[in-house]
A = this chain, B = another copy of it.
Amino acid sequence: METLFNKRLQVYVKCKDCEERKANIRVNIDLLVTSNPVYKRDLVVRLTDDVDPYFLYSLSISEEDYQSLKVQQGLLIDFASFPQKFIDLLHLCLAEQEKESPRFLLHLACQSSLHDSAAHFSVVETNAFKHLNHLSLKLLQGSDKEVKDYLATCLSSLKEDKQSLEIKLKKTEEDLSRQLAYAQQ
């Protein structure tokens, strides 16, 4: 698994029956390559929220899935070039997000009815004339099991972070106490 992109981006989140809100959403793009039994590439797009552990939307795009996406969205590039093009669009949004009227925006429209937990994640350019939809991906809300697995991963990496912090704290205390003792001699 190769992580191609992992950054927090400003996203306009609109859920059914809720006001639109601006949120910092972590966008993660992984390329999954399996060669057993057959060579297969999948692009996995995942949206999470560092402050809301239950927030998880994802989409896995195989080469075959991409063919329908390509037709449906009128894309001109092939599967191999798609990830970089998508990332370029995200970087455009990132560069614009601090501006007063950003030209590129990310939108996430959730259909939060109980039976349909899909959300459309879109890169939208706004010019003087209209909103241009550069790309719109349909993501699915994580199931209990998916959220559980995601949280277990977060927990384990956070535990590692905490451990290295503890080691660093201990080392800092020792180093500085030693230097202090030496200086006070």
Contact = CB atoms under 8 A, between A and B. Distances in A.
Interface of A: 53-54, 143-145, 147-148, 151-152, 154-156, 158-159, 161-162, 165-166, 168-169, 172-173, 176-177, 179-180, 183-184
B176 A53 contact: no
Given A148-B148, A148-B151, 7 more contacts: A53-B151, A53-B155, A144-B145, A147-B148, A165-B166, A176-B180, A180-B180
A159 B158 contact: yes
Contacts of A161: 162
Contacts of A179: 176, 180
Interface residues of chain A: helix, strand, loop or mixed (majority): helix
A147 B145 CA distance: 9
6 contacts: A53-B156, A148-B148, A155-B155, A162-B162, A173-B176, A180-B183
Interface centre among A143, A148, A162, A179 (most CB of B within 10 A): A148
Nearest to A182: B183
Contacts of A151: 53, 148, 151-152, 155
Contact of A148 (B144, B158, B159, B169): B144
A176 B169 CA distance: 12
Contacts of A53: 151-152, 155-156
A154 B151 CA distance: 9
A95 to B, nearest CB: 29
Contacts of A183: 180, 183-184
Given A144-B145, A169-B165, A184-B183, A155 B158 contact: yes
Contact of A172 (B154, B159, B162, B176): B176
Nearest to A144: B144
